[in-house]
Amino acid sequence: MFRGSMVALVTPFKNGKVDKKTLKKLVRFHIKNNTSALVPCGTTGESATLSYEEHEMVIDIVIQEAGGRIPVIAGTGSNSTWEAIKLTRFAKKAGADGALLICPYYNKPTQNGLYEHFKAIAEEVDIPLILYNIPSRTGINMAVDTISKLAKDFKNIVGVKEASGNLDQMINIRRNTPDNFLLISGDDALTLPVLSIGGKGVISVLANIMPKEVEDVVRKFEVGDVQGARELHLHLYPLIKAMFLETNPIPVKTAMGMMGLISPELRLPLAPMSDKNKNLLRKILKQYRLLA
């Protein structure tokens, strides 16, 4: 259902407001460059500092501009189950192809609490749902048993974006979920290893600036060109690391600003990139011929 390079889309701002015109341009940019799916309002999209109205507006703009030409997986998670249900209902009504649901953050629920949270959303909204496990952001790791039970109990829970960085956990997810349950890398650095254990793609930060190349890694692997996929993945690796010189999405929005794709505006408490890291980022972008 969902595969390949699924871009964790940035939310462009201008003078403190969502830059609607540039957001539409980004959608067209990804369609042109063969990105497999758009994922607005995730971590990279600064969903934590979008108002409810902005959150819904961004989802709606992306869906309308995509016009059915590319799948849209809307970020609709929250640490409030009711709020997650509300946003997921909106995404379905707006025409999203699926929804990405982050583990509840700050609350630190038990594994049973996580199960009940996702159960409530799955029962309320009949749309393909992708779980999002990123313990470095949420303070809680969703256990393999919890993921496996959700995958088996609810047909509309179709996959997990795994950003734990724990390949052992990912292997056990693949071993203990149905064959059609999607394992998706949540880390560009692990795209190829995740593909090798049965993953179907990546929800990618790097794809914001190199969409064609990220998609090519997955395509090459899918057609059996493992050496080609490996060579390209290794070629991209220094740039992948540069995207995390500071907290995501600070580096990628800074890079996109240098490339003329967006204004690199962030929302507090995210602050502009330090001069030292900005100079290093500029040097790396030049090495990849992304800057004049």
User: Which of the following is catalytic: 92, 161, 200, 253?
Assistant: 161
Instruction: Please provide the DSSP assignment of the chain as one string.
Output: ---EEEEE----EETTEE-HHHHHHHHHHHHHTT-SEEE-SSTTTTGGGS-HHHHHHHHHHHHHHHTTSS-BEEE---SSHHHHHHHHHHHHHHT-SEEEEEPPPSS---HHHHHHHHHHHHHH--S-EEEEE-HHHHS-PPPHHHHHHHHHH-TTEEEEEE-S--HHHHHHHHHTS-TTSEEEES-GGGHHHHHHTT--EEEESGGGT-HHHHHHHHHHHHTT-HHHHHHHHHHHHHHHHHTTSSSTTHHHHHHHHHTTSS-----TTS-PPPHHHHHHHHHHHHHTT---
Q: What is the pLDDT of residues 155-197, one digit of tens each?
A: 999 999 999 999 999 999 999 999 999 999 999 999 999 999 9
Residues 115, 150: contact at Cβ < 8 Å? Answer: yes
* pLDDT at residue 68 greater than cutoff 80: yes
Question: What rounded mean pLDDT belongs to the chain?
Answer: 97
Residues 17-31 have a mean pLDDT of: 98
Residues 60-73 have a mean pLDDT of: 98
Domain coordinates in residue numbering, the chain: 4-223
Q: What is the pLDDT of residues 85-143, one digit of tens each?
A: 999 999 999 999 999 999 999 999 999 999 999 999 999 999 999 999 999 999 999 99
Residues 196-200 have a mean pLDDT of: 97
What pLDDT band is residue 148 in, cutting at 50, 70 and 90? very high
* Cα–Cα distance, 281 to 278 (Å, whole number): 5
Superfamily of domain 4-223: Aldolase class I (3.20.20.70)
Residue 10 has a pLDDT of 98
* pLDDT at residue 235 greater than cutoff 80: yes
Residue 1 has a pLDDT of 76
Residues 281, 245: contact at Cβ < 8 Å? Answer: yes
User: Which of the following is catalytic: 132, 149, 220, 278?
Assistant: 132
* pLDDT at residue 292 greater than cutoff 90: no
Residues 145, 108: contact at Cβ < 8 Å? Answer: no
161 carries an active-site annotation: yes
- pTM of the full predicted structure? 0.95
* Percent over 70 (pLDDT), the chain: 100
